[in-house]
Each structure stands twice: as structure tokens, then as C-alpha cells.
Amino acid sequence: MVMRILAIATLATGLALAGCASGTVKQLSADSRASQERLAELTKATEDLRTELAALRTQVETMRRELEASAQAREQAQREALDEVAKRAAATDKRVDALTGAVRGVEMTVGGMADQVTRLEAVASNPGARRDGRANRAATRAAAATLAAEELFARANESFKNGELAQAILDFEDFVGRYPSHPLAGTAQFSIGEAYYNARDYQHATAEYKKAVEMTPRGEKTPEALFKLGLAHRALRRPDRAREVWSQLLRDFPQSDAAQKARLAMREVSRAGKPGPAPESR
């Protein structure tokens, strides 16, 4: 009987122990699954953060590049604006010089007219002034014509400076036609050639430069007229005629600035072996 009780007790204990072990295994399995799920969540969160970090880095790099590009663009725009202002200032300075020259000419003319008026008053106070009245009136008309010439030249030069080439040509031609003996006639004729050259009408430019050279063979603008005549021939694909004109320039005006430019141009033509566009010289 005792042995039977002991056997039953032993069996009960084993069953109890087995039940405990089974419960522990189940708990551990549940904990393991929970840990794996947590690990998966953490892994996914980490990957998401890495993706977000990469996107932020890309955004930062893009913004940095855009900032640098914007700074460069602003700097370039400021540089171009400064250059434009400098060009406008230089152009305005040239216009002021031209107008100053014209004003000086007008002042000289007015001064001459004042002297003429003084002489006329002196003559008028003389009983014999009536005999010289006709000559005095002719002198007055000549002084007035000189004033008109200065004004016409200034107007033509202003049109040229403003890029109104067609109007400048008409005004300069009017000046040369009305005042062919005026000291500024040679400059006016040269300016007609310049207007055609700037308009890229090289055929008419050659004709007008030739007239300028023929009008004043030793004039102030003659060396430059010869140089530009050569450039016009070069633009018309006439390198031989360009060299011929520049040779004349070197022969007649060897020390001029235009001659120095002609030497360089002749070397360029020789190296290139063909005609091509040339830089402006005005």
C-alpha cells in the first residue's frame, strides 16, 4: 500500500514538473516572438531614419549648390551692370567732348560776330560808312553762316553718337554740301564713311572714305580714313586692295597711330591668307 502511494506521488510530481516546464517554454516562445517583432520594428524605424537622413543630406547639398549658383548669378549681374554703366559713362564722355568742341566753335563764332558788330558800330559813326554798308552786310551774313555751320555739324555729330546713322549721314552730307570749305568739312566727310561702316554698308563706306582722303589729303582725319578704307576693303574680301591702301598710309603717315594699326592689320591678313572682320577703331 505504501509503495503504491509513493508511486502515485512520484507520478504526480513528474506531471507537475512537466506542466511547469511546458508553461515556461510557451512563455519563452512568446517572449522570443515579441522580441523579434520589436527588433523588426526597430530595424524598420532605423531604415526609415537612414532614408530620411539621406534625403535631408541631398536637400542640404541641393540648397548649397543653389545658393552658390545664386551668388554667382548676382555677382555676374552686378558685374554686367557695372560694365554697362562704365560703357554709358564713356559714351557720354565722348558726347560731352564733341558738344564741348561744338560749343567752343560757336563761342568763337559769336566772338567774331561781336567784333564785327563793334566794327560796324565804329563804321556807322563815320560819315563815310554808307559807302561800305554793302561790304559790312556781307561780312555779317558770313558770320551768321559760320554759326549755322557749327550748329549743323553739332546736330549731325549728336545723331551719330546716338546711333541714328541714317540721320547722321543726311546731316553730314548737308554740311559738306553747304560748307565745303569749312575747317570741319573733312571731319564731316570722314564721319559719313564712319556711319556707313558702322552700318556694315562697306561698299558705300569705301566711296565715302575715298572722298574724305581726296578732300583733305593731309588732313587730321586722313590717316584714320585710309586705315578704315582698308578695313572696308577687307570686309568686302579685297585683301589686295586693303594692303594697297595701308601701304599708302604707311608711306604718307608713317608715325601716325593709324599706321601702327595698319601694320598689325597687314600682318593679320598675311597670316590668315583670307579677309575677315576687323575691330572698330572709332
* Residue 169: exposure state from Cβ atoms within 10 A (0-12, 13-18, ≥19): buried
Angular region, 68: left φ>0, alpha ψ -120 to 50, beta rest: alpha
Compute φ and ψ for 274, nearest 5 degrees: -155, 160
Instruction: Please identify every stretch of the chain with a pLDDT value under 50, giving residue numbers as ranges.
Output: 94, 96-120, 122-124, 127-145, 275-282
What's the CA gap between 259 and 143, in Å, rounded? 38
What's the CA gap between 202 and 228, in Å, rounded? 10
For the chain, the structural domain boundaries read: 51-150, 163-282
pLDDT of residue 77: 79
pLDDT, tens digit (0-9, with 9 covering 90-100), for 67-80? 888 778 878 877 78
pLDDT of residue 269: 83
What's the CA gap between 199 and 205, in Å, rounded? 9
Q: Which CATH number fits domain 163-282: 3.40.190.10, 3.40.50.150, 1.25.40.10, 3.40.190.170?
A: 1.25.40.10
pTM recorded for the entire structure: 0.48
